[in-house]
Structure 1
Amino acid sequence: MKTSSTVLGDIPVGDWIDRLSPLTLRPYLRLMRLDRPIGTWLLLLPGWWSIALGADTWPDLRLLVLFGIGAVVMRGAGCTFNDIVDRDFDGRVARTAARPIPSGAVNPLQASAFLALQLAVGLIILLQFNRTSVILGAASLALVFTYPFMKRITYWPQAWLGLTFNWGALLGWAAAGGGEHWSPVLLYAGGIFWTLGYDTIYAHQDKQDDALIGIRSTALRLGAATPAWLVGFYSLALALFAATGWAAGLSWPFYPLLAVAGGQLFWQIRALDIDNTQDCLDKFKSNRVFGWLMMLAIVTGKIM
């Protein structure tokens, strides 16, 4: 019998986790958000961009694979820690009430043990890289473990997420053996503004619940002016990405391909309905397309 696929809050019912995994593992796979891979892509892509930027021609396949595994594990660790910290808030928000901890499928102690396991796996992966990469990777934990608290103290937690999710732009460059250079710094800065844009869109899903329970976000801070701010965020991101290509000496095909990627960002703004939860989620997810176009632009600019 085919299982129907519906959505209960933040939890898709009848997805691959329900169909393929043992019952005891399901809440832990959901803690890692393996049923919601867009977050992994958004964490991974800046690292892949930087690996491609630091390569002589084609990016190193071994590094791409290791970063892919690391992104799955560390995004899972970040989500697990976030759910431990936010368990009381999550139980009061319709979209997140069915997550493993507020629903009672996993208790905080079990989640903490699972977090330790993920961090151990992440460390094993990190130790495959050079010393500079290990130091940078360890330093990123300061951002990961403070991010869940930002929504309690500032209307700009999306900026902190930008600092966190784009750390791979620095780490990838170091892992690829790049020396001191402005290009990964410019790439990192551009990624921060990109994240400010897409996570502001994402935050509009929860703005009513957030306002009721005292959670802060750029969606609440910017309100109806969000589209105008998105133009600013995405314009700055594209300008910094263009500066990255110039600093790295990428060849001319990088720039028209970057322009195509930029078109995807401005399509998001033009088509966005900030009061439609599903539309906000769809536009947020579409940033994977931008990420792949950016990757294509960098690789093409390198090999040509």
Structure 2
Amino acid sequence: MNLTDRLHQYWLLARFDKPIGIFILLWPTLWALWIAGDGKPDLLVLVVFTLGVVLMRAAGCVINDYADKDFDPHVDRTKLRPIAAGKVSPKEALIVFAVLCLTAFGLVLLMNWYTIGLSFIGAFLTASYPFMKRYTHLPQAYLGAAFGFAVPMAFAAQTNDIPLHGWVLYLAVLLWALVYDTMYAMVDIDDDLKIGVKSTAILFGKRVREITAALQIVILSLLVWIGGEQHLAWPYYGGLAVAAGLAIYQQKLIFYFHKPDCFKAFLNNNWFGLAVFTGLVLAYLV
């Protein structure tokens, strides 16, 4: 395999060909930056966190495939991933993971000491998440803790403090990740049961629709509370109304447990995140 082909496999390993994960991770980071910066986040912080999201999402994908190297060959959706297909060795994957993490850490060094300290927790959560599906039926909640950790870090970078509404936003993002990753796990539920991988889709069983719907109500309620606490203008609530409509649409998609529709529901969360962010931006402009 020549250098171009190898770099292409690394690109696929980091899922740069599938940017949906970048967007779903980026939206809550932008929510936090806009709220922490009262609608005018510091430009350097904005650039660092945007690039950091891209790098750490890629790192998360790489370490996930490394952790699942014995599972992925047995799952239809993942059997062609670079490690599973034998095109990238596990050792190479760890090197790529280290390079991505070190590059992200180099960016974090441009921030204050509080943010630098928090970055070690974020890195630990990212690196350990893929192994949780062996030990708990709640790996989706752990993913939420990892993916959402950019929220307290954003407040720390912007204000050198994490106020109560920052932690409430972190909780909302954690629960949001739990919901959309449960929808994602519904696609693999048959394969996961065969190979012994745990997930909230398996844990919730036939109640998965009711539980995810209840969680979506909690998420939207937390976002409404933040809007009131921050005295955000009416466009923010318009964005939440659109997000609520999208949540209802997602429930419609997963209603019959049809796998392609469950995957569509997962993808639709990109628009949920965009709706909230658009409302935020317009609220501060007003």
Q: TM-score, normalised by structure 2?
A: 0.94
1:147 offset after TM fit, Å? 0.9
Aligned equivalent of 2:233 = 251
The answer as to whether partners of 1:53 and 1:302 remain within 8 angstroms in 2 is no
Distance in 1 separating the partners of 2:45 and 2:283: 19
1:180 offset after TM fit, Å? 4.3
> 1:182-201: CA deviations, max 9, x gaps?
11111111111111111110
Please, which moves more after superposition, 61-70 or 237-246?
61-70
- 1:92 partnered with 2:78: no
The CA RMSD over aligned residues, in Å, is 1.6
1:300 offset after TM fit, Å? 2.4
- 1:31 partnered with 2:13: yes
Distance in 1 separating the partners of 2:165 and 2:245: 23
Distance in 2 separating the partners of 1:81 and 1:125: 20
Distance in 2 separating the partners of 1:66 and 1:51: 11
1:61 offset after TM fit, Å? 3.8
Residue 249 of structure 2 is aligned with which of 267, 271, 282?
267
> 1:107-130: CA deviations, max 9, x gaps?
111111111111111111111211
- 1:122 partnered with 2:79: no
Aligned equivalent of 1:60 = 42
Distance in 2 separating the partners of 1:208 and 1:293: 33
Please, which moves more after superposition, 250-259 or 68-77?
250-259
Distance in 1 separating the partners of 2:162 and 2:176: 24
Unaligned runs of 5+ in 2: none
- 1:15-164 matches, within 5 Å, as 22-164=4-146
1:247 offset after TM fit, Å? 2.2
Distance in 2 separating the partners of 1:48 and 1:100: 31
Aligned equivalent of 1:174 = 156
Aligned equivalent of 1:8 = none
Identity %: 35
> 1:135-193: CA deviations, max 9, x gaps?
11121122112211211111111111111111111111122225342111111111111
Distance in 2 separating the partners of 1:60 and 1:290: 25
SS in 2 for 1:88: coil
Unaligned runs of 5+ in 1: 1-20
Aligned equivalent of 1:234 = 216
- 1:288 partnered with 2:267: no
Paired letter, 2:231 = G
> Comparing both structures, which one devotes a greater share of its residues to helix?
2
1:224 offset after TM fit, Å? 2.3
Paired letter, 1:143 = L
